[in-house]
A and B are shown apart, each in its own frame.
Chain A
């Protein structure tokens, strides 16, 4: 089971990896893959010991998530999976935005709909960051509140569409980099689900803060 700092880091890495790649993110991706592999105990294929060149990543990302072969294979937007009609900006997109607003967060840095995968992962990173601060300040009430927020957000707006999303990547891509990332995301999703399930059952009183 991952501790708080590890979960926070994992969300950060996934958030970075599901944004359109640029030079810095490409440069950081070798480390990201190594970190994910270690955090999730998931081996990566030998060809990923060297991450793809930026151009390859761009092409693969555009193909999978922007506009491409066979229609956008895996649109990285929650409403496409959660709401009826295969639409952007569905009801759940607005609810996701409301979650951000409730934390006094806005989307100034994005042209994407609120339920863009990278942004949702960023939001969970934020909640974990806040939880870390609450923990440091010894504010257990706030910590519990943030745990609850993570569970609500994760279960309502993210967890349930990730398997479909990742399977679409697996079905429509031969790119080893994103195939592996999708596999890792699936695994992390299951780990988070298991963790939250434990919290729900009160088998642990709070989320683990240390390993």
Chain B
């Protein structure tokens, strides 16, 4: 946790291993021509072009696949998958991974520190030296601490960089509790719902399950990673079956054995009805429940109200199908899994919906067994301990108490932003951003712009001119993932691995690693903070691996370290889980004590108002969130987003395929092209995420498509703080 009031226990000790940095000798005297070119005094030394293959990890999405960079003549010629065992990438690299070279060699990439000259968002910048830019950042941080409070600085960051912890360390050492990470735009309700049941957020063993149900988890597009292929392949309806629920006919729907265009927001009704059938017909795993769970009696009572007939009217899925699916699921169990997906920011009841999923998996014994939910394993690495300075007057997180279970490091974006806008209970006046594209990722962009407007100072560290960078005062260029030595990353899962990144080529222009930037800021913030960053990356890596030095050789020798190649089933059998009771909690005493429903209680979603549509948003295979749409190689595959609308509705509205339409919600209005398609329910419309950017610094996508963040209202799950991104209604009119 990140409470700056607490002091860390021990200071980190280094092993004193010397740096591995390569050095180059300059022979002879140098005579400059004008500025860039210089003539070496020694003409006998030919310069060898660097040609090498470099193991590293992909940084194009969150999956961190194993990569070999083929460096030819000092340039990354192409990226290949690492054929060594790597369970997440299994010898493959997707389109996004292949497009990684473009990240390094993009003429639009950030090249030098930039300082805003005109008004925010006006687009007037000048180059600055690192020294000037860094001084400006820390001067502003110090001013904000002096004028308001250290907690008045917020630090927003994103996952997957392998360097985020340095950014969070700087926040903690500077003295603010207000870090905003990505989970409440993503999976925090998943984590909460499953952890409340199992004490952890397990990984479904989809690869080995005989029967899989996915609802809204569009694995074949939204997280189309090499291992996704294992998850969605079926054998034509024989032993293995995939049932898929989604208001849209997605690529996952195309790969499924059965697809049901479920009414949005009613997944919980479907799940409760499955539980109802399984319990009332005695299809559950009696022994497993007896041995491993608490609260079955309460569940059995509670579930009576949720019959398949009732659910059919809620979900638009026939009762006979619900019943049959319940039978098939229970018959296949424990090799059956209700896959919880990754992004779970759908509805305000999301945590309870995920609880229902967890409970369904539990009552058929699909836990810690082949084809069921698997508790994650981790390969232990040594943490970097540091002594954060003590500040007496730092208040609690701004969003504390805003939701029932707030993660102290992650915060809750919608709650935090509302309080920051109201300066309640204290003002937020400074913003440090590390690669989180707030204006594209956080729903209700108008509010985010308001938030940015009220800042005395904004600094963004990124590799491209994101919308958020565009509205900043100082922009610092980070070296891309193919130019950095990053610390080892422990990728937990049923088969955990350790991955890492090493520089394939030198960082271009004046871009620097996040670690270097943090060190430089720390130095300027004072010796106490500087001391917590007083090590080299090589020392840091050796420190992390000190208990298992063999990992070092494995990483540099084959790009990956692992101990198992198959999941260990039954690992927690007989062991106490990290819940209050130590068992799987069907009935949550913890929730009851907090005044929450101890068992999932269904509430129908709000009805779609007349002449309006429910806005659905989603990710897809080409782009990762809002970060890669400007990549020309990927942009070629999907140059803009469209608004999906069912043909029957298009006829009613007299709209034609391909025409521009206005999409209006309570909080915003966007224009984009209409796509009339049977692939969506008539009560809903859909648009892909990542378009409609404000920043004109992204030449491929500026002014193209519409922004979902501009339209989505900032509703959220009151238990986890996760955004509820499917609770916005919109009107469609010709543009």
Contact = CB atoms under 8 A, between A and B. Distances in A.
Q: Are these two chains actual partners, yes or no?
A: yes
B127 A107 contact: no
Contacts of A126: 33-34, 37
A110 B36 contact: yes
Contacts of A100: 37
B385 interface: no
A165 B240 CA distance: 58
Interface in A62-78: 62-63, 66-72, 75, 77
Interface stretch (A39-47, A114-122, A144-152, A179-187): A114-122
A105 B32 CA distance: 9
Interface in B98-125: 101-102, 104-112, 114, 117-118, 123-125
A39 B633 CA distance: 43
Nearest to A126: B33
Interface stretch (B7-15, B545-553, B604-612, B693-701): B693-701
Nearest to B38: A108
A14 to B, nearest CB: 11
Contact of B108 (A71, A118, A123): A71
Contact of A63 (B43, B109, B123): B123
Interface residues of A, number: 50
A69 B34 contact: no
B236 to A, nearest CB: 40
Interface string B661-703: 0000000000000000000000000000000000011111010
A122 B36 contact: yes
Given A66-B112, A69-B697, A85-B632, A119 B37 contact: yes
Contacts of B107: 72, 75, 77, 80, 86-88
B111 A105 contact: no
A106 B592 CA distance: 71
Nearest to A70: B696
B114 A66 contact: yes
Contacts, number: 143
A131 interface: no
B126 A122 contact: no
Interface in B262-299: none
B28 to A, nearest CB: 10
A15 interface: yes
A126 B36 CA distance: 11
A129 B633 CA distance: 42
Given A88-B106, A88-B508, A108-B30, A71 B37 contact: no
Contacts of B35: 15-16, 19, 109-110, 118, 122
B111 A66 contact: yes
B632 A123 contact: no
B699 A122 contact: no
A12 B35 CA distance: 10
Contacts of A27: none
Interface string A162-179: 000000000000000000
Nearest to A74: B107
Contacts of B525: none
A207 B108 CA distance: 39
Given A112-B36, A122-B37, A86 B632 contact: yes
Interface in B55-81: 73-75
A89 B493 CA distance: 38
A69 B699 CA distance: 8
Interface in B470-498: 475
Contacts of B104: 88-89
Nearest to B46: A101
A122 B43 CA distance: 20
Given A66-B111, A109-B32, A125-B33, A104 B43 contact: yes
A59 B702 contact: no
A62 B43 CA distance: 37
A61 to B, nearest CB: 8
A123 B117 CA distance: 33
Nearest to A88: B105
B696 A68 contact: yes
A20 interface: yes
B382 interface: no
Contacts of A16: 34-35
A58 interface: yes
B165 interface: no
Contact of B34 (A15, A61, A68, A112): A15
A85 B117 CA distance: 32
Given A15-B34, A71-B700, 8 more contacts: A16-B35, A66-B127, A67-B697, A71-B108, A87-B107, A88-B106, A109-B36, A122-B33
Q: 10 closest Cβ contacts across the A-B interface?
A: A71-B699, A110-B36, A75-B107, A58-B126, A88-B105, A87-B105, A119-B36, A69-B696, A69-B123, A105-B37
21 contacts: A58-B117, A62-B125, A62-B126, A66-B127, A68-B123, A69-B697, A70-B696, A70-B702, A71-B108, A71-B699, A72-B108, A86-B107, A87-B101, A89-B508, A103-B39, A106-B30, A107-B36, A110-B35, A111-B508, A119-B36, A126-B34
